[in-house]
Amino acid sequence: MKALLALESGKVFCGESFGAEGETTGEVVFNTSMAGYQEILTDPSYEGQIITMTSPHIGNYGVTPEDEESRKPFGAGFIVREISGIYSNWRAQESLQAYLQRYGLVGISGIDTRALTKHLREVGSLRGVVSTRDLDPESLISRAKASPSMSGLDLAKVVTCEKPYQWVKEGARWLRKAVTEGAELAPNEKFRVVVMDFGIKFNTLRSLQKRNCQVIVVPAKASAEQIGSLAPDGILVSNGPGDPAAVTYGIKALQQIIEKISKSPKKNRTALMGICLGHQLLGLALGGKTYKLKFGHRGGNHPVKDLTTGKIEITAQNHGFSVDAGTLSKDEVEITHVNLNDNTCEGLRHRRLPIFAVQYHPEASPGPHDAGYLFDRFISEIAANHA
């Protein structure tokens, strides 16, 4: 079935439908990962975005429940050069085509994704429409122009969990359990970490649990008081979609948490770590500002330099906004990481308090594992403040 992709810039691409039939609207972005399409689709940070894969051949290894990074796909649509007609992998349980159909996700294949990516790099991320229903280019361009802009959009409240839960492993299964007030740590658990869910990925929770943490996840709108009542040793501020400046409730909660940390005895301070959107929210809570990047960073091959060690990491990234390093107080905040492609801020830490954050994804899934050590750094911060 014929399908069209129309951009607000006036460019139109003609291709073929795969996945669900219908129409979808969102910000068109590109991801440079060569694999990991299921993890990408189920990353809540893609809420409201139509994802273009720059790798030309997608779907050849199918999909499996083991590769889910959240409860469902969150991308608004999917764009590929060629969708594989068959899949071959011992782990696969269904085709990518069937998976998209099952979740009602609209896809388009057979277009020149290289030309599309070059256009997005030149012009910037654009609002777009993918449709199998309306094949009138002018009609679709008008609807793309009328669709919501990502700037000023709070999407964290769309993807977050509805109520707190504890993330546990029983045998080979990962489960959500109700949070029991006053519950003690299990014998194998060293610290309690509360995760503020602005669009959390499962592998972040697995990374914490594997490091002997009791993991409790709370909704994005949880107050500082509610989080404090759980008596956390550490707090992790998750990744997520949308404009960080629009998440005013999260910024307010973090400001209150930071104030409480600053007033706590040195050996009884809660450590704070931010990832991606969490990095941006912490930057805002510490008095900085954020801005929208031209086309964002999305993929598993972004070089980042750790200024504290001089080492370079190849990182997994997915974000369209960035912290303006120049707006942060140099007396209070140190920039710890920079992107080697465009020199944007990729990490920060407080000079006196156990607070640090990175713009990229140390949990990967998909992507390289160079940055996994940051979870160990977080645990070390917790341990140092609870000696």
Catalytic residues: 276, 361, 363
Q: Where are the alpha helices (DSSP H) in 286-372?
A: none
Q: 215 has which bridge partners?
A: 167, 193
3-state secondary structure (DSSP) of residue 363:
coil
Please, are residues 41 and 78 in contact by the beta-carbon 8 Å criterion? yes
Quote the CA–CA distance of 55 and 300 in Å, as a whole number.
12
Query: Which amino acid, one-letter code, is at 151?
Result: S
Task: Give the H/E segment covering residue 343.
Answer: none
Q: Which two tokens mark 329?
A: 């107080």
How would DSSP label each residue in 230-278?
T--SEEEE----S-GGG-HHHHHHHHHHHHHHHHS-GGGPPEEEEETHH
Q: Is omega for the bond preceding 164 within 30 degrees of 0, making it cis? A: no
3-state secondary structure (DSSP) of residue 280:
helix
Quote the CA–CA distance of 22 and 42 in Å, as a whole number.
20
Please, are residues 45 and 239 in contact by the beta-carbon 8 Å criterion? yes
Torsion of CA 347, 363, 113, 8, to 10 degrees: -60
Positive or negative, the CA dihedral 16, 18, 22, 26 is negative
Question: For 110, left (φ over 0), alpha (ψ -120 to 50), or beta?
Answer: left
Please, are residues 24 and 77 in contact by the beta-carbon 8 Å criterion? yes
